[in-house]
Structure 1
Amino acid sequence: MFYDENGKHVRTKKEILGEDGEIREGCHIVKKGEIYEKKLFTVKDERFKSNSFLDEVKRSYTDLINLYVKDENQKLQVFQRGSVYLATKKIGKRNPKAPEIEADNRKRQEWNRAVDMALISGIPEPQIMEVKQKRISEPIKSAISRKGRKANLFAKVVTMAIEALELMIETVLVKKYKESLEQKEQLQKTDASDMETVIPETERTEAEIKEPVERLPEPKQPEMTRMASKYPRFYKIYNELEQQNNAIYKKEKQRSAKKKELSEIKGWFKGRKKKELQEEIDDLTSQIRNMKDYLPKIVQKVGYRSVQEFLKDFKTAKFEYSQYQKAIAQWKQETGKEPELQPHGVRAKLVANRKKIEQEQKNTQRTRSQSKDRGAR
């Protein structure tokens, strides 16, 4: 290979020869087999190959894209690794496997809705993750290693996992129902007199009255945290989720009863009855699907993307609210005063400050008018 004075590769040897037929100064020839170019690279940073960096970049670009998306329903979100949910696959244009991917995505959504029901019912996330691992991840891996990738394999595995999860949900809901019945029975048995606690009155002795008691400085009223202030609103949303969850459970029980009735019908001349029952089952299935799809929409109204995210904040808010209630009860016992309402949020604080300033202005005007009246007298 031939290179001229500027280091540019030329085609023939004549282009680097001078008038005397010798190689010009600055030109050189690289013989065959020799290294003709070197590029030095710095040491690779392992961070750029890690999943954490990939997640960080995904989130930053997703947030950037969402800035230009006006419709909340169309905004993108990054799927969380190791979540109880199953991520849906994106279908590209002219993908020959589009119908298969769509069917898989429907099954994934069914699993996600079943997970929502499980979380609302009170099943812990580790148990749901265990079902996902043992009923979905491991069977699919073993099936692919043995038989390869086959159509409808994923759908069958997820269907079995959903059935296992629904069985857990039913067990928990039945247990809750029994506990609620027991609590009602206990409340009916207990009398109102037993519920009231009588506080005995203590009489102070003359010595106690005469002796002055040293009063400690009055403790400051406990302040409610931001999450604790959200608890009443969160509780309404949670109550709506529970009501929807119970309604879905009732519909599923109706569907199970219809399926059982359909399986018991036998005979050549009962086709009409079978058809009617099948139509009722299909109608109930459609209703259940729509009701399950509505579960995440309940939490999306308050800015959450999934039921899982909402329940995490709900539990935090519930804990902080209970701690605040205990602190307020102790403060009332120590001071004997009623707590003042504390504004939360920017707007509420601005309104409270405005009222405070107006009250101070009124007080100053009143004192000025009183001083003028005294001077006139």
Structure 2
Amino acid sequence: MPRHSFVQIQKITNVKGRIDYISSHARQENLYAVYDTAPLKFWNMLAKESQREFLKSGTEGKCIEARELIIALPESYVNFEPDWVLKTFTDSFKETHGVECVAALHHNKKKTNYHIHLIFSERTMLEEPDIKIASRNMFYDEHGKHVRTKKELLDEQGNMRSGCTIIAKGEVYEKRLFSNKISHFKSDVFLENEKKRYTDLINLYIKNPLEQLKVFDKSGVYLPMKKIGKNNPKAADIIADNQARKEWNQAVDVALVEGVPEADIKEIKKVEISKKVGQSIAVNGRNPGLFLQIIMRAKVILMNLLSKQKLPPQPKITVDITEFRKMQGIKQDLDKQVRIIRHIEEKELPDLLQQSGNLKGIFKSKERKEVERQIEIAQNRVSDLKSYLAKAVTRYGYKNIQSFIKVYGQCEKEVQQYQKELEEWKENNGLKQPKPESIRDKLRRYEQEAKEKNLAVLYLPTQKKEKHRNER
């Protein structure tokens, strides 16, 4: 499968602390560059006003002061100047959305993940501050909430409670430096657009087409793999989750090679995975164990469809098309591997499992261990063969099994159409050569003619029979 781009978004509840974390050499082992489009004072004012607006709204939870994109870069980007990379990607965001940003370029501890942290403001600074003057005394309780009368600020003894404030008539009671939040940044459409935009930007500087990234197609036949972050407490669940996704994707590769239409695979994915996962979350919440069960059931349904699939006989290509002959070789190799996979899964493994089940008791432990070793070898062979399917096409320049099958199917259709048109052309122009008669067909024809000749003699008059014998 091709490498997919990774662009993630997260909420920032402490923008000053987050900026300090991503830009500090003391807190980051592999920090290569820091770049901002606004001074630190801007972010201090943004945090202060965001907290004030949040308090004023009375909303529960935590105030979102800013948002952050995490953009994974291909390792080939280490060859570029870090400052140039960071400035290019950050300025691209500001030019597109018109908001201020601060970004840092990192490697993880093991230097296997080259990435950008890009923090951006959801608000724009107003050209002129919006200042509001109190037309009468304004009263605010200890939570910053506006109340109508001074009496609401007093305790039982008639004294003003700590934290309450009064703004006198004629004084400034509100000063806004920023606009309201841009709601577009909260939408799923925004993130999808950024994934596409940044993928295009990344690919712009990758010369080798095979190394270019691709945005994962959620509506396609495959399932995406999940990223395991640093110190993730759910790492074990994600690893098991990714294994199930990998097995589904491998089953899809086998199905595509065997000729199962993409539309059928997508329908199984939609009905048996997407819908059922949604229903499960609605009823049981996010439960990794239930997700694995759903994936395994969908895989069984896909394999059942595969066993019922009847492929039309493959035509023999007689046209001398070098590239297509090479593709035929790849396809035949894939078919061979799939036949081996199916033989192991449907014949060898069931036989071995049955043998293992029959070997009970302590006196047969040695034989049972040997059978179990053979089972493990067979399972590893299946796993290796399934992994080989994708590698078999990527080394010839195809991104994955899906793209190869598409190209192969189109080429095969064109060759068949060419053969048909060539035959019609030869027939219409009298150039079609008769099929040469085999020796066996000639012998049969001679034998049949002799039988017919002898049969005809039986019905001749007596005089003609004698004449016929004399002629012989």
Query: Is TM > 0.5 for Structure 1 vs Structure 2?
Result: yes
Letter in 2 for 1:141: G
1:239 aligns with 2:332: yes
1:308 aligns with 2:402: yes
Deviation at 1:89, TM superposition (A): 1.3
String of CA shifts for 1:317-365, please: whole Å, max 9, x gaps: 1111111222223333455679xxxxxxxxxxxxxxxxxxxxxxxxxxx
Deviation at 1:98, TM superposition (A): 2.4
Taking the aligned partners of 1:85 and 1:43, their CA distance within structure 2 comes to 31
Question: 2:24: which partner in 1?
Answer: none
More strand by share: 2
Taking the aligned partners of 2:228 and 2:184, their CA distance within structure 1 comes to 34
Q: CA contact under 8 A between 1:244 and 1:291: conserved in structure 2? A: yes
Question: 1:319: which partner in 2?
Answer: 413
Deviation at 1:129, TM superposition (A): 2.0
Q: CA contact under 8 A between 1:229 and 1:321: conserved in structure 2? A: no
1:165 aligns with 2:302: yes
Letter in 1 for 2:345: E
Which among 245, 251, 272 is matched to residue 366 of structure 2?
Answer: 272
Alignment of 1:129-140 (within 5 A): 129-140=266-277
Question: 2:284: which partner in 1?
Answer: 147
Deviation at 1:170, TM superposition (A): 2.8
Question: 1:102: which partner in 2?
Answer: 239
Query: Which consecutive unaligned segments of at least 5 residues does structure 2 have?
Result: 1-127, 131-168, 433-472
Query: Which consecutive unaligned segments of at least 5 residues does structure 1 have?
Result: 1-6, 10-28, 184-223, 339-377
Letter in 2 for 1:319: K
Taking the aligned partners of 2:222 and 2:395, their CA distance within structure 1 comes to 20
Deviation at 1:255, TM superposition (A): 0.9
Percentage identity across aligned positions? Answer: 30
Taking the aligned partners of 1:120 and 1:36, their CA distance within structure 2 comes to 62
Deviation at 1:151, TM superposition (A): 3.7
RMSD value, Cα: 3.8
Alignment of 1:70-85 (within 5 A): 76-85=213-222
Letter in 2 for 1:251: I
Comparing both chains, which one has the higher relative contact order based on Cα–Cα distances under 8 Å and sequence gaps of 6 or more?
1
Distance 1:51 1:82, change over 3 A: farther
Give 3-state SS (helix, strand or coil) of 2:387's partner.
helix
Distance 1:30 1:271, change over 3 A: farther
Distance 1:323 1:96, change over 3 A: same
Taking the aligned partners of 2:204 and 2:361, their CA distance within structure 1 comes to 63
| TM-score, with structure 2 as normaliser | 0.48
Question: 1:248: which partner in 2?
Answer: 341
Question: 1:344: which partner in 2?
Answer: none
More helix by share: 1
Query: Could you tell which deviates more after superposition, 295-304 or 138-147?
Result: 138-147
Letter in 1 for 2:375: I
Distance 1:38 1:52, change over 3 A: closer
Give 3-state SS (helix, strand or coil) of 1:86's partner.
coil
Question: 2:196: which partner in 1?
Answer: 56
Letter in 1 for 2:240: A
Distance 1:65 1:95, change over 3 A: farther
Question: 1:290: which partner in 2?
Answer: 384
Give 3-state SS (helix, strand or coil) of 2:363's partner.
coil
| TM-score, with structure 1 as normaliser | 0.59
Question: 1:3: which partner in 2?
Answer: none
Count of aligned pairs: 261
Query: Could you tell which deviates more after superposition, 228-237 or 309-318?
Result: 228-237
Distance 1:112 1:279, change over 3 A: same
Distance 1:123 1:93, change over 3 A: same
Taking the aligned partners of 1:42 and 1:147, their CA distance within structure 2 comes to 34
String of CA shifts for 1:88-128, please: whole Å, max 9, x gaps: 11222332322322221122111111111111112222222
Question: 1:19: which partner in 2?
Answer: none
